[in-house]
Amino acid sequence: MAYHEGPYAGAKRMVREGRIDELRGRADAGDTVAARVLARWLNHTDRTGELLARMAAGDVDARWGYSDWLVRRKRSAEAVEVLRPPAEAGDVSAQRRRARLLAGLGRVPEAMMQLEHAPANSHRVESWLRSQGLWGPRRLEVDTNALDASLAFLDHGLYLARAQDCVS
């Protein structure tokens, strides 16, 4: 029985084998898996010029790659702005990511407002805020004493999440 390699594994193999031009060609031809893997590779190899060019051309995966690049360099405020267009267009993942970044920057009311636009079943960040005592009965009620103690935990959690993304 022959082994069939899925598209994601195939794209990752192209990176391992240094076939980046082939991967880039597939991404340019509309292969979404290739675009995602290429954006991740561009991010981790600090090729921000190409990430920005692809982002300007409307490549959503490049936008995510650039936002991750900014977060890795502790430029979360810029990453929040990079994710604004997809979040405003209704991308639930972008809305959640923006909310986490905003909360990590101490902009909890903005994070909560971002969650107001997300579907009810996507409020993971809201659950975290509630568990930390930051989400009161009125949606924008914030306990600043609890906030100071909790932001360090959130910041640590974001770094752990980024490390896990790099491993996968």
CA distances from 57 to 7, 10, 50, 94, 167 (A): 23, 25, 10, 18, 28
SS3 145: helix
pTM, rounded to two decimals: 0.68
Which residues, 6 or more positions from 77, have their beta carbon under 8 angstroms from its beta carbon?
105
Q: How far is CA 139 from the centre of its chain?
A: 24
- Across the chain, what does the average pLDDT equal? 78
- The model's pLDDT over 56-114, given as tens digits with 9 standing for 90+, comes to 999 999 999 999 999 999 999 999 999 999 999 988 889 889 988 998 898 988 888 88
* pLDDT-wise least confident of 39-53, 106-120, 153-167: 153-167
Please check the confidence at residue 166 and state whether its pLDDT lies above 50: no
Q: Give residue 156's pLDDT band: very low, low, confident or very high (50, 70, 90).
A: very low
Please check the confidence at residue 31 and state whether its pLDDT lies above 80: yes
pLDDT at 8: 77
Angle (CA) 63 104 71, round 5°: 35
Please check the confidence at residue 161 and state whether its pLDDT lies above 80: no
